[in-house]
Amino acid sequence: MESTTTGTPPRAVGHAVGAFFRTALRPLVDVVLPPLCPACRDPVRDAGALCPGCWSKLNFITRPYCERLGIPFAYDPGPGILSMQAIADPPAYTRARAAVRFDDVARALVHALKYGDRLDVAPMLGRWMASAGRELLADADALMPVPLHWRRLWARRFNQSAVLAQNISAVAGVPLSTALRRARATPQQVGLSRAERARNMQGAFRVPAAAKAEVVGRRLVLVDDVLTSGATLDACAHALLRAGARQVDVLVFARVVEAARAPI
């Protein structure tokens, strides 16, 4: 059969017209369609903000918590008490703080930021993180996002930790550093035991010689979206301390909290 050599097939025209309208009318569409809640996709008044229902379901982490790991306590054991975990298996970083518990709404927000191209949620998360990490940021010389391997960065087009760090920097006035790099790609951590996660992360991060000056003698705050086992952040802290950092703290948006964790 002879193919059409003149004109454009109707389907392609349809696509072209659709693309034209999407591009040309974008500002109008943004005005006409209400912004959607990044967690449940209900209409909201302000772009990048949560609907009241999702907002009420978020669990912000406040004191009392372990001063070292930031794990919330079910009751107040008194000032300066550490969690069992902090004593039995202390991480390389000095202090960790998280804005919220990693539950359904927090997961939806992280997902929207990471895979849903909802970069408009980043300023809100950045503000909450800056507030949760106020003490850490007051002492900090620089913010250090957990780096993505370039292959993952290429696939996802941006590093969510760097986006969060930029937004915290804008609020807290602490400068950003990218001295920490991925030395190699690491397999996904899902389904691995704690020991396997730690092994998986060994040697995954490094500070290149040219960037050492950004690390030596400095107090750094590592920034990531979620703290699960802490293996990734621990490996990052090890790499920074080996490169001469004076202190490394950790600030994340959400952390996994096991139910009914009581102080010792």
> Which residues lie near Zn ion (CB under 5 A)?
37, 39-40, 51, 54
In 3D space, the residue among 228, 231, 236, 229 whose CA is nearest the CA of residue 253 turns out to be 228
Q: Quick one: 112 or 122, whose CB is closer to Zn ion?
A: 112
Q: Quick one: 45 or 184, whose CB is closer to Zn ion?
A: 45
CB of 122 to Zn ion, least distance (A): 17
Phi, psi of 90 (to 5 degrees): -65, 140
Q: Quick one: 58 or 231, whose CB is closer to Zn ion?
A: 58
CB of 121 to Zn ion, least distance (A): 11
Q: Quick one: 20 or 55, whose CB is closer to Zn ion?
A: 55
The CA distance from 210 to 221, in Å, is 20
Q: What are 252's strand-pairing partners? A: 98, 224
Q: Quick one: 40 or 171, whose CB is closer to Zn ion?
A: 40
The CA distance from 94 to 85, in Å, is 13
CB of 50 to Zn ion, least distance (A): 6
In 3D space, the residue among 141, 89, 97, 92 whose CA is nearest the CA of residue 242 turns out to be 92
Query: What are the tokens at 97?
Result: 């703080």
Contacting residues for 8 by C-beta, under 8 A, at least 6 apart? 16
CB of 57 to Zn ion, least distance (A): 8
Phi, psi of 262 (to 5 degrees): -110, 150
CB of 39 to Zn ion, least distance (A): 4
